[in-house]
């Protein structure tokens, strides 16, 4: 592809929100950024903390990735997450001030806090009040027609500096307005199962009643999911030393 055509494609502007953006791509590249640790993956966006004119922002940026990644996965995921967060504008417990820097980068106000996975390693245990608040946020999100679909991943639930829950990373999200009722309810249960999963791990003594029963039913249904056993075996073989893999193959 010629450099001229490449620049013309990447230079297309997409309207992210009315009004002027707080900063531009040039401001980001010239300013001071702090990388935020995340799992390295060739198709994953770069996460940085960016300070600009007294405000701190979180930037999820696909621009450093290869041309094919940022033009396909990057554009798609930025658009999807932007639309989900705009539907949740003004709601507590989710990122605010969201805008698209360009087709490849999504920005929001920086939210200091710790991931639930990190608290688990530090053996810090949020109490019942935290998970009641988390459940309320998820239900309000559903009321606005948004499904997160990745809350069973503890990296997507933060505990902010005031001890309140925050949902992040809406790249897997879907809008539920046009879904059949039974599909929407089934996917809402997936989100709530993430809440109850972490509730049971951190504060099992306080999880009772309908919440505990819902988690039990969901976990029973998960055992019937197709290919689960196959996926587990593949992951297990990858973690085994090579000599044990060969031995396992000879025994099968």
In three state form, how does the secondary structure of 42-98 look? CCCCEEEEEEECCEEEEEEECCCCCHHHHHHHHHHHHHHHHHHHHHCCCCCCCCCCC
Using the 3D structure, point to which of 69, 85, 109 is the last residue of a domain: 109
Kindly list the distances between the CA atom of residue 18 and the CA atoms of 21, 78, 86, 99, 104, in Å, as whole numbers in the listed order: 8, 17, 12, 10, 18
* CA proximity to 28, closest of 101, 97, 82, 81: 101
**Is 177 part of any domain?**
yes
> Both 136 and 217 in a single domain?
yes
Q: What domain range is 35 assigned to? A: 17-109
> Both 148 and 194 in a single domain?
yes
CB within 8 A of 5, min separation 6: which ones? none
Mind listing the pLDDT tens digit for each residue in 155-173? 999 999 999 999 999 999 9
Task: List the single range of 36-40, 168-172, 227-231, 244-248 with lowest mean pLDDT.
Answer: 244-248
Mind listing the pLDDT tens digit for each residue in 19-42? 589 999 999 999 989 998 656 677
**Is 56 part of any domain?**
yes
Give the span between the Cα atoms of 189 and 16, in whole angstroms.
31
> Both 73 and 131 in a single domain?
no
Domains: count for the chain:
2
**Is 186 part of any domain?**
yes
Q: What is the CATH number of the domain that holds 174?
A: 1.10.510.10
Give the span between the Cα atoms of 239 and 140, in whole angstroms.
40
Alpha helices in the chain (DSSP H): 3-10, 25-30, 67-69, 75-87, 116-122, 128-143, 181-202, 209-222, 228-239, 242-251
**Is 218 part of any domain?**
yes
Q: How far apart are the first and last CA of the chain?
A: 50
**β-strand pairing of 113-115 with 105-109:** unpaired
Cα torsion 49, 171, 101, 4 to 10°: value is 120
Using the 3D structure, point to which of 89, 109, 129 is the last residue of a domain: 109
pLDDT of residue 39: 61
Query: What DSSP state is assigned to residue 179?
Result: S
pTM for this model (two decimals)? 0.80
Residue 213 has pLDDT above 50, yes or no: yes
Average pLDDT over the chain reads 84
3-class DSSP string for 200-212: HHHCHHHCCHHHH
Mind listing the pLDDT tens digit for each residue in 99-139? 999 999 999 999 999 999 888 788 888 999 999 999 999 99
């Amino acid at each position: 592809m010629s450099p001229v055509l490449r620049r013309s494609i990447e230079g297309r502007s997409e309207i992210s929100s009315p009004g002027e953006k707080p900063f531009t791509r040039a401001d980001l590249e010239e300013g001071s950024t702090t990388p935020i640790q995340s799992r390295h993956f060739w198709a994953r966006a770069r996460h940085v903390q960016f300070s600009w004119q007294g405000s701190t922002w979180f930037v999820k940026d696909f621009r450093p990735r290869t041309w094919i990644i940022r033009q396909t996965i990057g554009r798609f995921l930025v658009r999807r997450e932007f639309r989900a967060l705009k539907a949740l504008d003004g709601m507590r417990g989710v990122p605010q001030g969201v805008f698209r820097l360009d087709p490849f980068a999504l920005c929001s106000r920086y939210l200091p806090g710790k991931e639930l996975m990190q608290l688990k390693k530090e053996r810090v245990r949020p109490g019942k009040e935290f998970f009641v608040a988390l459940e309320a946020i998820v239900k309000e999100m559903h009321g606005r027609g948004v499904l997160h679909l990745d809350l069973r991943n503890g990296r997507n639930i933060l505990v902010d500096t005031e001890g309140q829950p925050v949902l992040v990373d809406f790249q897997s999200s879907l809008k539920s307005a046009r879904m059949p009722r039974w599909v929407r309810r089934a996917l809402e249960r997936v989100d709530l199962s993430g809440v109850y999963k972490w509730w049971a791990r951190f504060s099992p003594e306080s999880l009772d009643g309908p919440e505990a029963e819902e988690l039990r039913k969901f976990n029973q249904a998960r055992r019937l999911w197709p290919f689960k056993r196959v996926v587990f075996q593949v992951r297990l073989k990858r973690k085994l030393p090579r000599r044990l893999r060969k031995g396992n193959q000879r025994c099968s």
